[in-house]
């Protein structure tokens, strides 16, 4: 048995780059930064903050959500799987890239913005949108903007 699952919480590094294909399939690409805090060891050694950059790929409806709501600086939760692929660049040199193909995306808010923050989720087999603050963005239709009836 094997598992390929990634969970990331970080800030978007650039606005999503959108591509639309002939059969109306949407694809969004954006970068996501995750950081580990710096610290000082008991021996006095200082370990600096470390930031990792991740390439995120969203398809279909999730890509359309990313296009509407994900902007540079937005704090997001991403669940997905790691995919590696190769391609030949303009000079014919083989390049390798590792991406996280998102299965789930939740908007947690914007860094430094005054928004209250809200969440949106889309699963591969259907839509499940949630709004933890109880305030949905104006762009989401009423029938999908209701908060979950969770006891906590």
* 73-117 tens-digit pLDDT: 999 999 999 999 999 999 999 999 999 999 999 998 654 444 433
Supply the range of the domain harboring residue 74.
Answer: 6-35+47-110
Instruction: Let me know if residue 30 belongs to a domain.
Output: yes
Instruction: Let me know if residue 25 belongs to a domain.
Output: yes
Instruction: Let me know if residue 24 belongs to a domain.
Output: yes
More confident residue, 147 or 58: 58
Residue 125 DSSP code: T
Residue by residue, DSSP assigns 26-89 as EEEEEEEEEEE--EE-TTS-EE--EEEEEEEEEEHHHHHHHHHH--TTEEEEEEEEEEEEEEE-
- Compute CA 21 distance to the chain's CA centroid, rounded to the nearest angstrom: 21
pTM: 0.68
Q: By mean pLDDT, which of 36-40, 46-50, 83-87, 124-128 is the weakest?
A: 124-128
Residue 96 in 3-state DSSP?
strand
């Amino acid at each position: 048995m094997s598992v390929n699952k990634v969970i990331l919480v970080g800030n978007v590094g650039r606005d999503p780059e959108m591509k639309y294909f002939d059969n109306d399939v949407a694809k969004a690409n954006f970068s996501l930064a995750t950081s580990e805090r710096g610290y000082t060891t008991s021996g006095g050694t200082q370990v600096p903050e470390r930031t990792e950059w991740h390439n995120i790929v969203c398809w279909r409806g999730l890509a359309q959500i990313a296009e509407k709501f994900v902007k540079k600086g937005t704090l997001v939760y991403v669940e997905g799987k790691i995919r590696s692929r190769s391609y030949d660049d303009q000079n014919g040199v083989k390049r390798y890239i590792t991406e996280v193909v998102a299965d789930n995306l939740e908007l947690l808010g914007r860094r430094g913005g005054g928004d209250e923050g809200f969440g949106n989720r889309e699963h591969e087999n259907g839509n499940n949108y949630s709004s933890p603050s109880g305030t949905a963005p104006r762009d989401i239709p009423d029938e999908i903007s209701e908060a979950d009836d969770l006891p906590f």
